Amino acid sequence: MKIRFILNPVSGRHARSARLLPLLRDFIRSQALDAELHPTEGPGHATVLAHEGVQTGCQRIVAIGGDGTMNEVAQALIDTPAALALIPCGSGNGLALHLGLPLAPIAALQLASHNSGRIAAIDTGSVNGRPFFNAMGFGLDADVSERFNRLTTRGLPTYARTAWTAFRQRRSEKCHITLGGHTETTEILLLAIANSDQYGNRAFIAPGARVDDGQLDLIAIRPVSLLGAVGLGARLFLGNLDHSPSVRRLRGARFLIERPTPGIVHTDGETHATGTRLEVRVHPQSLRLIVPLTSRAQACVEDQAPSGFALQLP
């Protein structure tokens, strides 16, 4: 089995992934893997490296980094025979946590490079053609992402402080949301569309969401007071955010969102400038991904292998 490892050396807390470089080299050598190791050199390079891996016949492409690295690598693997594997080294690791992937480097490497797991097909999303795999959004969460990405210190405490600062300087906006021919207008502080159930760090933006159901979950949070924000923050980690009367939740395969002015959106935590019109779509079972045989949920979509074993993704 031919494998390409793609390492983001500046991902996560204090560039933890850079310290994995000697461990990765030792692992590849000790396991006698037919593998290449490529560190990235800047934004977008992981996508180039992943495309090259697919073109040269790699059966597995391993992303070593955070959600941004995962996004760049996965973009190149949509609707290809190559399977994505994750070595989570980021600040949030949202998709990895949702899927129950190991966070310890050696365990993650063993899953990524051996036959101890299975290949499952998961859904992906896109906003105006730009792929996302865990979540996208705008408003407060995009503002937080933009601020957080400029910082050199990472981790949940830093993210919480950044979110609090952004909230205190918050601005709401009125959006028109169309789903299935029905349009509703709402004032939002934050609008997220999730494929998995969480942003990362077990902050559940869409409790119960699945990556294999052909649906995306839209979460619109209306403007709230400072006290209300504290309550929503608690609900985010307790897993009952959508029980709040300040939260509107919709599920569907395609959303059209119109906002009053252009602004930024984030896709898996990376921000981009957009116009006033956002078309968000799901692409069912378009990405093959290595998952454990046993995870926090039962089996779902199986790779087309003759074993007859099916994986249920969370």
Catalytically active residues, by annotation: 270
Cα–Cα distance for residue pair 86/63, rounded to 1 Å:
5
Provide the 8-state DSSP code for 241. Answer: G
Q: Please name the residues in contact with 24: beta carbons below 8 A apart, sequence gap of 6 or more.
A: 5, 7, 37, 64, 109
Identify the bridge partners of residue 3 per DSSP, sorted by sequence position: 35, 60
Contact between 264 and 128 (Cβ < 8 Å): no
Strands 135-139 and 190-194: antiparallel
DSSP H or E stretch at residue 252: strand 247-252
Nearest to 103 by CA among 121, 119, 118, 90: 90
3-state class (DSSP) for residue 135 = strand
Q: What is the Cα–Cα distance from 101 to 104, expressed in whole angstroms?
A: 9
Q: Determine the Cα–Cα distance for residues 196 and 17; give it in Å rounded to an integer.
A: 24
| CA 135 – CA 42 distance, rounded (Å) | 22
User: What DSSP letter does each residue of 267-300 carry, written as one string?
Assistant: ETTEEEEE-SEEEEEEEEEEEEEEEESS-SS---
285: left (phi over 0), alpha (psi -120 to 50) or beta: left
Rounded Cα distance between 296 and 169, Å, is 38
How far apart (Å, rounded) are the C-alpha atoms in residues 71 and 18? 19
